[in-house]
Amino acid sequence: MLDPSDRLKPPFCPFCRQRLEPPVELDGLWFEFDGGVCSCGAHYTLDPTARNGGAVLLQAVVQACGGDWDRAITLSPGTDYEEGFLAGYNALNHRVGGNAFGTIYFVRLKAPAEQPESTGQQQGAN
């Protein structure tokens, strides 16, 4: 018979598939949930109870914006950032699977749209 721990897997980033470091306490005025940053630039935040999804996702967006709330609340999912999640996370053993119910939320900002280059001429200058 298989040991249930054999089904547990380490957590991976949904964007780049790199293995994640365990979420840690973050410095910041409002950061209530543990989190981190993946090597691909995705910010992640842990909801240990799977009951605070909205607040945890918002914190991940604010983290990705460097703590800039004004910028964070103007961004749109799918347009300005990608989001993902990893359900069934156990913070005690840093594994996914089994009977765990924690959720890690991920946010990765998209590259800003390139601005057309100026031709160096000003309109209305005669």
Residue 41's contacts (CB-CB under 8 Å, 6 or more residues apart) are 108, 109
Measured between alpha carbons, how far is 62 from 74 in angstroms, rounded to an integer?
11
Is pTM beyond 0.75? Reply is yes
Q: Which of 36, 38, 40 is nearest to 60 (CA)?
A: 36
Q: How would residue 12 be classed by pLDDT, with cut points 50, 70 and 90? A: very high
Each domain of the chain, given as residue ranges in start order, spans 18-109
Q: How many C-beta atoms surround the C-beta of residue 51 within 10 A?
A: 11
- Tens digit of pLDDT for each residue in 21-64? 999 999 876 789 999 999 999 999 999 998 999 999 999 999 99
**Which residues does residue 96 pair with via DSSP β-bridges, in sequence order?**
9, 89
Which of 2-16, 25-39, 64-78, 100-114 is the most confident on average? Answer: 64-78
